[in-house]
Structure 1
Amino acid sequence: MPEISRFLGIVIRMFFDDHNPPHFHAEFQEFKAIISIKNAEPLEGYLPPKQLKLVQAWAIIHEVELLENFVTLGEDHKSWNKINPLQ
């Protein structure tokens, strides 16, 4: 699963040909969650509250880029665009 961003110990990944709704995978230490791109809410899994808030802030800032990766690049099996980390 390709890594598209990394910040503050959090790794963000996406799968090619992943299912709807549009989402990404976030990992922090042993915790993993699937996060909706549209509303930045967890769909599955768990992240500690602090890391979840960081991931949600990042997702809101980068919603357009995330959707482009999920919809356009995912369907075409092209390389994901890297997305800037949260600073």
Structure 2
Amino acid sequence: MPTISMFYGVLVSMYFMDTSEHHMPHIHVYYQDFEAVFAIPSAEQLAGNFPKNKRRLVEAWIEIHAEELMADWSLAIEGRDLFRIDPLK
């Protein structure tokens, strides 16, 4: 599970070949003891529990980097190396 970005204490990861549970492009995010799954490119929270203020940061980051996230998703489902994506600044 490569970490593709990190900002404001939030870690963003994408699993290789992770299409069985959520059936759509998505990322896994972690902050302290919280974890959640967000769809790309819609930024809808699909699972988990995440603090509201951090959730809004993740949603904004997904919107800004939707094209890069979809490119990484294509690589991930093929089991190929992912590119890092700039953090939210």
- Tell me the equivalent position of 1:37: 40
Give TM-score scaled by structure 2 length.
Answer: 0.93
Runs of 4+ in 1 over 3 A off after TM superposition: none
Q: Aligned pair 1:66/2:69, yes or no?
A: yes
Distance 1:67 1:12 in 2: 14
Give TM-score scaled by structure 1 length.
Answer: 0.95
RMSD (CA atoms): 0.8
Give, in angstroms, the shift of residue 76 of structure 1: 2.8
Q: Aligned pair 1:47/2:50, yes or no?
A: yes
Give, in angstroms, the shift of residue 75 of structure 1: 3.1
Distance 2:77 2:31 in 1: 27
Deviations 1:12-71 (A, max 9, x none): 000010112100001000000000002101000011000000000000000000011112
Stretches of structure 2 that go unaligned for 5 or more consecutive residues are: none
